[in-house]
Amino acid sequence: MSTLVPAFAAVFEQTSEHTGEVTGLGFPLLPVMVLCPLLGAIVIALLPKERVDVIRLVAVLSSVAAGALGIVALAQFEPGAPGFQFVSSATWIESLDIKFILGIDGISLFLVVLTGILFPISLLASKPEHDPKGYYAWLTLLEVGCLGVFCALDLFVFFLFFEITLVPLYMLIGKWGHGRRVYAATKFFVFTMLGSAFMLVAIVSLAILAKAGDGGTISFDLQKVIASQANLGTVTSRLIFVGMAVAFMVKTPVFPFHTWLPDAHTEAPTAGSVNLAGILLKLGTYGFLRYGLQLFPEASLYFAPTMITLGAIGIIYGGIVAAMQQNLKRLVAYSSVAHMGFCVMGLFALTIEGVEGSVLQMINHGITTGALFILLGFLYRRRHTYELAELRGIQKVAPVFAGVFTVVMLASIGVPGLNGFVGEFLVLAGTFIAHRWWAVVAAIGVIIAALYLLWAYQRAFHGEPDEANRTVPDLDWGEKLVIAPLVALIVFLGVYPKPVLDRIEPAVRRVLEHVEVSTGRELPSSRKGADLAPLVGDGHGASHPPATGLDPGAEAEHAEADR
């Protein structure tokens, strides 16, 4: 390994062209991080399938290594800088200027860290019922895809990683899932691939049509394409935006494209559900933020009312359908539709608070829903069912389990003091500035969330346990240790989200400024430069640029769009 790293460093040239700043480490942090799980998967593939313990150890170690590198990135990350950090690149296809450019900014940083934390936990939290070798190999490969998506700064490479995540998850659901696993897996694969079909054509069209401004050479480098996207006509860029948006909407999922999600979530094995909900859904919203807003500022503004409407529909619809579910896992799946609706809404509010809240909501949803699925996995291990009708009085026999479940559930509802509140509040505040009535509608969604989760809790945990539930054991030490970091994060982020917001904000500000500059329109943000102190602590807003007044024209237009 010691000889490998310098060789690797030679391949991945450390560049600062994207940031104008020194990248710090003389070591290709991100490529090594992405390749850690890949190495693990290769080792697992070579191990004999009888050595289950070794296989599990390799899987956990490789994902812990990736997670550790993610933490290193977090520690070394320079909070104030808006650009990309730790950028390294290696040429892949010369003639098309396709490069493995990896780099992170404040937005992707936390998604990378989340991936690094959630994967080892999900590996520790569940065991496959059969064929452990394939199970661990596919899970580690899935981690490669997820990390790659969040780090990629090249359209083509982004697409590669975005698409490659399909296969491991398909295999995990189809082979290790529950009852209707084949149906769910195939539906998941076909839906997502259909979205990607449009995205591939969109990416190619974008690169080809935008090349005129870049000296006529085709390039898939995100920065270059952003710089040259102005060459596109308005209609063209709107069409291409729609092409990419379809893929992201399927992945997120946004309301009419969400039908694969409940099936996939319900039938997936625990680790599959955790990572699907925790990380893979973020691929969609992250795509909107990184590729939608930055590449198509005008189209984003144009479609923002539509997207906000779809987000609001998702919040209400997801909540109502979740309330009707008899299966706990399905209920959590529909709650994801609602929560991701918040993310989409915040994103397309196009205000600092909204986008920031949306990013935070992505992280929070990853933590809380991941924790919920882990807890449901523990429950399934004890009772072999997710049906609410068969669960009663768990609180009596497993108080610690019930306690942890309560904390996580309250975070998911968005109770102040826990992480869910901060994200949702920022989203609602941000949306209120731009489209106030939709913020009102979304606020109703918070109430519905309280309704369905508390109702489900009541049915499963309260009352007298019947025969089947009387012997349910409480969490053992191993399980407590696995869930503890997530609970700690839930509380920490609820009480003190400032360090996270401090790092997200410059990146978000940069994206929105880009949108403003390239469309020439002032985004609605009465709080620009105002202090967020009441919410997130002291002196946070000190670095903000001075407040700019509301542009009445822009507001009028948005008001029009609202109607």
Contact residues for another protein, defined by CB under 8 A: 92-96, 129-130, 156, 159-161, 163-164, 166-167, 170-171, 174-175, 181-182, 185-186, 189-190, 193-194, 197-198, 200-201, 204-205, 208
Q: Which residue number, 40 or 174, has a Cβ lying nearer to another protein?
A: 174
Shortest spacing between CB 503 and another protein, in angstroms: 30
Residues 24, 407: Cα–Cα separation, whole Å: 39
Helical (H) or strand (E) element with 102: strand 98-104
- Long-range CB contact pairs, 503-507, < 8 A, 24+: 503/77, 503/79, 503/106, 503/109, 503/110, 504/106, 504/107, 504/110, 504/356, 504/359, 504/360, 505/106, 505/352, 505/356, 506/79, 506/80, 506/81, 506/82, 506/105, 506/106, 507/82, 507/105, 507/106, 507/107
Nearer to another protein, 156 or 291 (CB): 156
Residue 155 or 274 having the CB closest to another protein: 155
Provide, rounded to whole angstroms, the least separation between the CB of residue 298 and another protein: 20
Find the shortest distance in angstroms from Cβ 390 to another protein. 23
Q: With respect to another protein, which residue has the nearer C-beta, 286 or 438?
A: 286
Minimum CB separation of residue 477 from another protein in Å reads 29
The dihedrals phi and psi of 100, each to the nearest 5 degrees, come to -80, 85
Q: Among candidates 561, 319, 353, which has minimal Cα distance to 443?
A: 319
Cβ neighbours of residue 354 closer than 8 Å, sequence gap 6 or more? 345, 346, 347, 348, 426, 427, 429, 430, 431, 433, 434
**Minimal distance, residue 134 CB to another protein, in Å:** 8
Report in angstroms the alpha-carbon separations of 483 from 24, 412, 420: 34, 15, 17
Compute the least distance from the CB of residue 151 to another protein, in Å. 15
CB neighbour burial string for 221-230, b if at least 16 within 10 angstroms, e if fewer = bbbbbbebbe
Q: Note the Cα 199 to chain centre separation in Å.
A: 19
Distance CA 353, CA 505 (A): 9
In terms of CB distance, is 10 or 517 closer to another protein?
Answer: 10
Q: What is the 3-state secondary structure (H, E, C) of 313-356?
A: HHHHHHHHHHHCCCEHHHHHHHHHHHHHHHHHHHHHHCCHHHHH
Question: What's the closest the beta carbon of residue 335 comes to another protein, in angstroms?
Answer: 28
CB closer to another protein out of 131 and 387: 131
Residue 205 or 231 having the CB closest to another protein: 205
* Nearest-approach distance from CB 180 to another protein, in angstroms: 11
Q: How far is the CB of 491 from another protein (least distance, A)?
A: 39
Which CB, 193 or 550, lies closer to another protein?
193
**Among residues 45 and 71, whose Cβ is nearest to another protein?**
45
Residue placing its CB nearer to another protein in the complex, 208 or 447: 208
Smallest gap from Cβ 27 to another protein, in A, equals 23
Closest CA to 358 of 368, 348, 343, 337: 343
* Helix, strand or coil, per DSSP, at residue 77: coil
Query: Measured from the CB atom, is 77 or 176 closer to another protein?
Result: 176
Under a CB-based contact definition with an 8 Å cutoff, are residues 383 and 390 in contact?
Answer: yes
* CA-closest candidate to residue 457, choices 399, 394, 398, 400: 394
Instruction: In angstroms, give the least distance from the CB of 522 to another protein.
Output: 34
What is the spatial distance between Cα 195 and Cα 289, in angstroms, rounded to a whole number? Answer: 17
Reading phi first (left if > 0) and then psi (alpha if -120 to 50, else beta), residue 216 is in left
Report the alpha-carbon distance of residue 493 to residue 533 in Å, rounded: 15
Least separation in angstroms between CB 391 and another protein: 25
Which DSSP helix (H) or strand (E) runs through 139?
A: helix 132-151
Smaller CB separation from another protein, 200 or 495: 200
Angle at 18 between CA 63 and CA 31, to 5 degrees: 20
